[in-house]
Every structure is written in C-alpha cells, then in structure tokens.
C-alpha cells in the first residue's frame, strides 16, 4: 500500500520547525484514508459502494483504522469488541457530560461531542495502557521467561507502587461479564494469541493471591489483549473505545432531549434502578 | 417495554417550569437505554455479553437507538447505511476541523469532538430534512394523489423557492454511487417501502426535466428513504450519520497525529489526488 | 470601515448554491476581524500593541465584537456586564459538563469546551430572546403606545401562552442582585436608553400583579437591555454571556483537576454550602 | 481562605482508588470558586454585585483564577496580557477549526468550542512550558549562578537538542510587537521581577549569537515571565491564553455565520491581505 502513503515522514519530535519556520503546505501531501473523485469514493483504496453489503460496519471500521481488510473471523471478533462497549449506563462521566449538555437544549452533535471529550486517560484510556503493559510482559517472555514469571514480575511492580494493574479491577463489577465473553470468543475463533495468553497469565496470578480483594480482568483489559493480537497498535486503543461508545452517547442525548424536561438536575444513580431483563429470541442464539 | 419508560412526560414546550421553578430531580427517573448492576449490563433490556457475537455492531446500534431488535435483513441494510457514510475524504468541514485540532497536538478525543461539532444543519442535516420532505409527499399520496403527482408538487414548491430538494444534488458527484447501491440493496432485501417509492418518484421527475442541470439523488436522500422505511424517526437521521462518520474522523485524526508535522497548514485539496483503486478479493463478493 | 468588509454578500438563505455547486474559495475574501503581517497585528484596524495598556480587556472585547471603540462609560458598563456573569457556581449544567470532563483526566481545554457546548437556547440564550422581546415592545412604542401599554401587551401574550417573559424569573434568586446593580450602573453612567426603559416598564407591571408569584428581572434580562442600548445586535447576546463565563469554567476545571480525585462522582449541591463572605477593601469602594 | 478549601487532599497519583473502589461522592465536598444562595452569589467570597463596577473584568478574571484580589497595577498589567492575545487572525489552527464548524451552520457555542479544543501543547502551550523553563533558570540563579550564565546553560541544552527555547521564535514575526510592549509595561508598573529578568537574559544571549537566524522573544514568552512574576502557577498558563483568545474566536465565528456562504471552502491566507491601519484617538493615548 506504499502508494497510498504520504512521502513526508512524521517529524513530531522536532519543534524547531514549528515555531521558527513559516507554516507552509507539505507539498504533494496525500492522505491514505479516503480519495474522492467525481462519482468515486475510495476507502483505503476500495470503492465504498463495493464495500456496502459486502463488509459489516465493524469490518469497515477495521479497514479504515488499519488500512487492510480483516479476515472474516477477525471481523466477527472485532464486531464483538465494539458491541461490548456500546454503553455503560448513566454513571460514566462521559455520559453525564453528554446529558448535562443535552439538557440545555443544545444540538445532538454538541451533546455527543461533550461526551467524547471525556474519553482518554482515566476513561477508556486503560486499553492503550494495558496494551503497553502486555507488551512489557511479552518482552520478558521473548527473553526466555515463562508467562507465569513475566506476569509475576509485572504484578510485583504494580502492587509495589500501589497501582492496580491496567485492564484489571472495576468499580461496579466483581466479574466483568464482557471480558469473559470476549476471551471465550477469541478462543472459539482461534484468534487468542500471545497477548491473550499474557492477560490470562496475569489474571490467574491475581486470582491466586490468598485473602486478597478480587481484582478481576475488566473489559478494557480484554479488548487490549484481543486487539493487540489482531495487530492494533496501542495508539488506536482509545479509538476503538470511542467508536464503540458513540451510539450509547447518542441514545442518551436523544432520550434526554426527547423525553426529559430541559435544564433538569440529573441524578447519576438513575441508571442503577433495576428492570426485568429481556431474552434474545431463539433464532438469534 | 413500558416499564423502561420514564413516567414523566416530556414538556419541552413549557418554559415557565424552566426559569421560575427550582431545578429538582425528577423523582424516580429511569433511563430506558442501559441498566447497570453488579456483573450485569442490560442494553435495552438485553445482557450485553449475550449480544456479543450474536448481533453485528450495526444491529446493536439499531437496538440502542430504536429500543428493539432489527430483523436480519434490516440489520444487513442498516449495516450498509453505516458503511456508506464512513468517510468522505479530507474536504468536508468536519474533517478539516478534526485535522486542524489534531495538528495542534491535541488528544484524539478532542480532535474527533471538533469534527462532530460540524454535524447538523448544512452537513449531514439533509437526512432529517429529507425524511420530513418525503413524509410531506406521502401525506399527499395518502390523500389520494399518485406518487408522480405528489413528487411534482414537492418539486414545484422547492424549485419555485430556488431550493434544491433535500437529499438531491452533490458538489462533487453527478451520480452518487452510494445512493444507487443502497436503493438496490433495499430492493433486493425487500425493504423498499413507501419512502423509497417516494424518493424514486422524485428522482424520476428530476431526471425528466429537459435541458436541466442534473440534480442526482445523493446518499443523504437514500439514507433518509431507507431509514424511514425501517421506522426511524426524523430526529434520529443526524444520529445515524454521526455514528457512521466517527471512524472516518478517527482515521483522519490518527493519520494527522502520527504521520504529519504539528502545526502544519492543511491543504483541503489533498484528498482529491488520485491513487490506484484496489479490488475486493473474490471471496468477499 | 467599508474597506474591511468582505465584498461577498451573505447568502445563507439560498441553499441551491450549497448542494449543487462545487465548494470554491470566495475569491479575494477578507476578514474584517484581524489582519496579520510580519511584526504587525491589527485588531479591527488598530495595532494590538497600541491597544495594550490603553484599552481595558472589556473594551477590547467590545471592539473585536462590534468593530468600533466604545466610549469610556460604555467600556465601564460593558466591563460590569462581563463581571456579572463570570460564574454561577457548580449547579449550572455547563459547569457540571466541564467538571465531568475534567474528572476523567482530560486537558483543561477539553473540559472548558464541554462547558461551552451547554451555552445557547435554555442556558444563556435568554439574552438574545429578551433582546428581541424588548424590540417587539419598542416597535409598539414607536407606533404611539406608552411604555406601560406596550409592557402590558407583551406580558399578556406571554402569560396567555403560559410562558415566563424572557429575562425574568430565576430558579434560585427571588431578586437577582446582579440585575439591580447593572441597571443602577447604566443609570449612573447615563447609558439607560429605551431598552432599559422597556425592561423597567415590564418589571413594574409584573411587580404590580396582585397575589402573584414574584417573577423578578434576572441578569439575562438586564444584560439584554443594557447591551441593546449600547447597540449590540441580538445575535451577539449569547456571545457576551459565553465570553463572560469562560473564566468561571476555567476555574472549575482547574479546581477539579488540581484538588479532587479523578473519576469521582460529582455532587451538584456542593456549591450551595455556605461560607463566610469577604468584603472588598475600602480602597476598592 | 482556608475555610473555602476542600478538606480532601488531591490524590491524582494513586490510581488504585480509581478502578477498584466504587465511585462515591466526596462527602462534604466544597468548591472554593463560587457559592450560591438565594439572592447571593459569592465569587471567591466576594459578592458579585459588589465587584461589578469596582473591578475591571481582567481583575475579576485574576480573582477567580487565583483566589485573591490583584493590586491595581497587577490588574492593569494582567489586562494588557489578555488584550495582547485577543486574536491572531485567520491563520491559527484554532481559528480555522472554529470557522470550519461555523460554516456548517452550527451554533456559535459549537464553533467556539471547536476552536478551544486546539489550545494546548503546540498552540498556546508554550506559556506553561516557558514558565517551567524560566523556573529552571531561576533554580540555577538561586544556586549562585549569574542570570547570564543560567541563560547560557538553558540555551545550550535547547540548542544541543535542536529545540527552539520555549517562548522564543515566531512563524510570522521577526520581532513580536506584543512581547516588547508587555515587558515595557511590566517595567513601567514596577512589576518586572526575576522571571522577567530571566527572560531578558535569555533574549540578550540569543541576540548576541553571531550570524544566527533571529529567534525573538514571542508573546507566549513575555506572558510566561510576567504572569510568573505575578504569582501564577504554570498550570494556569494555558488558562490565561484560552480566556484571552475566546473573544477572537467568537468574532470569527460570528463573521463566518453572518457574512459568508455556508459550506464554503475557507482560504487560510485571507487574513494576510493588507488593509489601512486605524489610529487610536488622542484621548485614548
């Protein structure tokens, strides 16, 4: 795909160019994402109308982020990644930011944008941090350590520093049902590679600590392992979470706008009131 | 699903409550979107871990927006809707806003949020406007007019006022390949209802004008017709566009951050430089 | 200042140009706001280094918004407008959106942007609505009605429709101390024109209603009257509020980031806990 | 002012609390920014209606950011800081992001928020970086080095690493007229302390390099020195820039909305077209 690439190498680390030189166009700059010509739209080189009906939306997301088509099993697993994080109720700060903006009568796009601004660092940011954490462990494995020893070394440095390992622990869940399901799917689709092996090793060591408060694998950790095994770079970890969560933000903004008083005071606990669950129809199982 | 509903009716039209009354919590307020309990996450009543691997991401988006599961053919058509609008290159103002923020060294989420703020009214807003426009025509049909006569009446009022009919015309494309593909899929999946019929009638009348500049059906118009036939309310038209376009914004922000100089001057024409197209492998056709 | 103006007339109302024509640069487009040349920055034609120390920040804001220098009394009154709305504690939805984003570890700019998104319509939007409302009354006065009769007519149509008059009523305050102070200053500076007269007439009629719940003039109404008398167009009403409120949003975001736990659950009532007031030193009175 | 302070110490560095513990309200949390009670609004303890007409807006900004009243000379200098950065034309990426969102027909608040998202790191972020840079130099001075030697050491480490010193160099200006004016005012108001002394020392050493490309002190560097001497912490450096620049973003968004075609392609060079300068009236000098 070299022909799609910009010929200008990234030089983010060289600020002298930034302040002292005039801002000039990068001559001949090309984007590798999408090309537009009259009656033609090429997404990473593929005609979008040819993709419609042939790729699922999840597969198209994979393509536009990574530049290449996923295999069908990767498409299926990546779809499950996106479904897993579609929403987490009213309590997350991103959802509350969206609702607080929506209650002022702002447009849907403004409310959703406010929620997006909460993604990163402490909220969704664990995917990226956990990807790097697993890489650290795998570097040890490649140097000859066993997965168990590498896990012990990683955990030791976290717990010594009073830090919960990234991708583990949850405020509300003592066992994150999304994490187990995702690892199970990766296994069934034969897509569980070394990152999944690493995260499982850490999980086993954490569970084996006697008398300790449970620190379960969470969905961020499971996504980190599964996406790293599919070849995602850590920089895209947050991107995956952001794309997954947008429909949830939209649904909250839309509910706030269409069914609530403007300028109301929002109760963050409302999402924790119980309601009877529904079951998927048999044909969907 | 009545038990999921807030018991408080929306009263957006009654501002006295807003300014003169204290802001009090709506007692017992419940969200219908997602319920959270320890180790349980219910999306519109369904356990998210049960949805993973059983619904495509597009189907989960449909569920969270509309509150009910789509049929499998609706899921497939809605997936094509989302794929169709995943990106449109560097030229749209939303993409340029995202890139201008990304070049300052801002986080991915900030760059994406800036792009989201461009959605609405003149950019993506045609889906909603066109949905209402088609409804207007269908009201005539329900009153006994033929589709052709209703189309003529709609067009007359637009062209008299110097307005291009919403969902028609494009700056770059004289025939929008996404629009034809989407209507073709709706037909093959037997999901082309009265809104598609209406939009086709308008398209035929526009094409029949002698010596006139072509005003082709665009992707906004095709999405409007197809989504209205699937039961979407006009209020959600923009939401669909927003969800579809996020991965494109993410890809542009990520490319800007990882492959370009910070603080560069961005050339909006770069996305129009040609590159050789790629073909889907045979197994994908 | 005609030479600063774009020669292209605005044509917002003519969408055919939008969808069917290519997006081309407006040839020779000029901005009237600020011109940049090497070693020269002209704000509305004035060298910014000449303005520094000669105009107060409020006067510079007036200049950049309106294109002309304010008189010294106008500068003083406009400064009081900005001070009046610098903050309103933790309860407004804009402040809560800022704090919810700040608690995720986002950057200051992201937290502030989220708050800005709440400005408009139901939050700060009353300034613009009230400016138009006062204009409506003044149109009656110009047609020969007395201020009292015009006020009666305006109020009748509001109260008949169940609407609180824009610029009146407050959730928390039964007498808004900012509103009285602003009108008093306008009077002392001899800047109370017909819009202030109109708002006072409405206030008198509202106060004269027997046995009615008090609907006091609020700060939005006072700003609307005072700014309209200084020549501001209604379109800039929200702009004034936004500029005034930013320092408050910044202070909340900064406090959240520097003094609170990340990802905490924010109590919107915290801003209502009492604390002893401080008095200005004598030299400041 | 201890009674205004939260009793909860910040613990940003201790993530275990974040992921593993439930999100609970910080009991008894108080904000130090603004307290609200019926008919009373206290900004950092002062009644806002008492501040109106007694503090300039710049002084009120200083108060809300720093928690204490500025002296009158500090208020004057801080006003000049804000005026200096009120706008820099169409070219900065923040302004372009604002205009690109404005051209889509978005609300004023959405357009301004998009611009705000560009503030930080490479755009406005130099104020904070330069404040820390000056502190580094002053640490050397406190250890007995002369200002000139400290400046040499700082510059050596920058130039060795191929970095332009923060607060120096400009894309467009070879001598930044705002920087000279601000340092001159600091001197006249007798507010030039050790940070100004440090920045001047660096400036002198840079100017003395034979045959070197000029790297002039820029406005970010001047603001950094002057604000640090007034007691601002580096964390607030960006905040000052953001507050100063908002009126410019508003003016650009407003011009775009009211005077240009929607969805136009924006020429970033437009702001560099010359126009005749205006002079302040004699009474303002």
What pLDDT does residue A274 have? 61
What pLDDT does residue C269 have? 67
In tens, the pLDDT along C92-135 reads: 999 999 999 999 999 999 999 999 999 977 887 899 999 999 99
* Residue A198 contacts residue A138 (beta carbons within 8 Å): yes
Closest chain B C-alpha to D122 CA, distance in angstroms: 5
Maximum C-alpha span of chain B: 66
Q: What is the residue whose two structure tokens read 């619904």?
A: B55
What pLDDT does residue D276 have? 76
What pLDDT does residue A155 have? 95
* pLDDT, one tens digit for every residue, chain D (285 residues): 333 333 333 334 333 334 444 444 455 677 899 999 999 999 999 999 999 999 999 999 999 999 999 999 999 999 999 999 999 998 899 999 999 999 999 999 999 999 999 997 788 789 999 999 999 999 999 999 999 999 999 999 998 888 999 999 988 898 999 999 999 999 999 999 999 999 999 999 999 988 888 899 999 999 999 999 999 999 899 999 999 999 999 999 999 988 888 888 887 666 566 667 898 888 887
Question: Buried b / exposed e across C178-208, counting CB within 10 Å, b at 16+?
Answer: bbebbbbbbeebebbbbbbbbbbbbbebbee
Q: What is the pTM of this model?
A: 0.90
What pLDDT does residue B43 have? 96
**The two structure tokens encoding residue B263:** 């603080």
What pLDDT does residue A10 have? 38
What pLDDT does residue C1 have? 33
Q: What is the band of B153 on the pLDDT scale with cuts at 50, 70, 90?
A: very high
Does residue A18 belong to the interface with chain D, where contact is any CB pair within 8 Å? yes
User: What's domain B126-236's architecture?
Assistant: Orthogonal Bundle (1.10)
Cβ neighbours of C181 in D, within 8 Å = 49, 52-53
Q: What is the band of B145 on the pLDDT scale with cuts at 50, 70, 90?
A: very high
Task: For chains A and B, count residue pairs whose Cβ atoms are closer than 8 Å.
Answer: 407
Does residue C97 belong to the interface with chain A, where contact is any CB pair within 8 Å? yes
Closest partner residue to A114 among C101, C122, C265, by Cβ?
C101
Q: Which of A95, A137, A157 is nearest to A221 (CA)?
A: A137
Mean pLDDT by 10 residues, chain A (285 residues): 35 40 56 91 96 98 97 98 96 93 94 93 87 98 97 93 92 93 98 98 94 91 98 94 97 91 76 73 83
Q: Tell me which chain C residue has its CA closest to the CA of residue B117.
A: C117
Cβ neighbours of B274 in A, within 8 Å = 35, 37
Is residue B187 over pLDDT 80?
A: yes
Q: What are phi and psi of A2, to 5 degrees?
A: -55, -30
Q: Tell me which chain B residue has its CA closest to the CA of residue C21.
A: B171
Cβ neighbours of C36 in A, within 8 Å = none
What is d(CA D227, CA D131) in angstroms, rounded to the nearest whole number? 9
* Residue A253 contacts residue B22 (beta carbons within 8 Å): no
Predicted ipTM?
0.90
Q: Tell me which chain C residue has its CA closest to the CA of residue B114.
A: C113
What pLDDT does residue A275 have? 67
- Strands (E) across chain A are located at 34-37, 40-43, 46-47
Domain ranges of chain A: 29-69, 126-236
Closest partner residue to D261 among C11, C57, C80, by Cβ?
C11
Mean pLDDT of B80-98: 95
Closest partner residue to C272 among D36, D108, D250, by Cβ?
D36
Q: Which of D12, D17, D20, D212 to mutate to test the interface with A (most CBs of A within 10 A)?
A: D20
Strands D40-43 and D34-37, by their bridges, are: antiparallel
What pLDDT does residue B267 have? 73
H or E stretch covering C36:
strand C34-37
What pLDDT does residue D263 have? 81
Does residue A94 belong to the interface with chain C, where contact is any CB pair within 8 Å? yes
- Helices and strands in chain A: count of H runs, count of E runs: 12, 3
Does residue B213 belong to the interface with chain C, where contact is any CB pair within 8 Å? yes
Q: What is the residue whose two structure tokens read 């069908």?
A: A72
Residues 6+ apart with CB under 8 A from A67: A1, A4, A32, A44
What pLDDT does residue A259 have? 81
* Residue D80 contacts residue C52 (beta carbons within 8 Å): yes
Contact at CB, B265 and A12, closer than 8 angstroms = no
Q: Which of A7, A12, A52, A102 to mutate to test the interface with B (most CBs of B within 10 A)?
A: A52
Mean pLDDT of C157-179: 92
Closest chain C C-alpha to A23 CA, distance in angstroms: 13
Q: What are phi and psi of C176, to 5 degrees?
A: -85, 110
Q: Which of B261, B277, B283 to mutate to test the interface with A (most CBs of A within 10 A)?
A: B261
Q: Which of C230, C122, D236 is nearest to B13 (CA)?
A: C122
Cβ neighbours of B18 in C, within 8 Å = 122, 164
**The two structure tokens encoding residue D87:** 């706008």
């Amino acid at each position: 795909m070299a022909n799609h690439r910009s010929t200008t190498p990234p030089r983010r680390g060289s600020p002298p160019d930034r302040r002292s030189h005039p801002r000039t166009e990068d001559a001949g700059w090309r984007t590798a994402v999408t090309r537009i010509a009259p009656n033609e739209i090429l997404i990473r080189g593929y005609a979008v109308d040819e993709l419609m009906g042939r790729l699922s939306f999840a597969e198209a997301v994979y393509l536009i982020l990574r530049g290449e088509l996923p295999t069908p099993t990767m498409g299926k697993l990546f779809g499950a990644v996106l479904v897993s994080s579609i929403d987490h109720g009213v309590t997350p700060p991103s959802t509350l930011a969206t609702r607080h903006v929506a209650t002022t009568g702002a447009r849907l796009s403004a409310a959703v944008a406010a929620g997006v601004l909460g993604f990163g660092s402490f909220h969704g940011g664990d995917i990226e941090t956990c990807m790097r954490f697993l890489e650290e462990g795998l570097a040890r494995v490649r140097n000859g350590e066993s997965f168990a020893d590498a896990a012990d070394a990683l955990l030791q440095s976290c717990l010594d520093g009073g830090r919960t390992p990234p991708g583990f622990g949850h405020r509300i869940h003592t066992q994150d049902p999304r994490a187990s399901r995702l690892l199970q799917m990766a296994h069934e689709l034969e897509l569980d590679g070394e990152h999944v092996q690493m995260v499982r090793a850490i999980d086993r060591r954490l569970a084996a600590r006697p008398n300790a408060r449970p620190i379960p694998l969470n969905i961020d950790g499971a996504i980190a392992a599964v996406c790293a095994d599919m070849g995602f770079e850590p920089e895209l970890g947050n991107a995956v979470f952001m794309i997954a969560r947008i429909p949830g933000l939209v649904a909250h903004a839309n509910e706030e706008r269409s069914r609530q008083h403007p300028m109301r005071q929002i109760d963050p606990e409302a999402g924790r009131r119980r309601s009877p669950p529904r079951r998927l129809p048999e044909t969907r199982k």
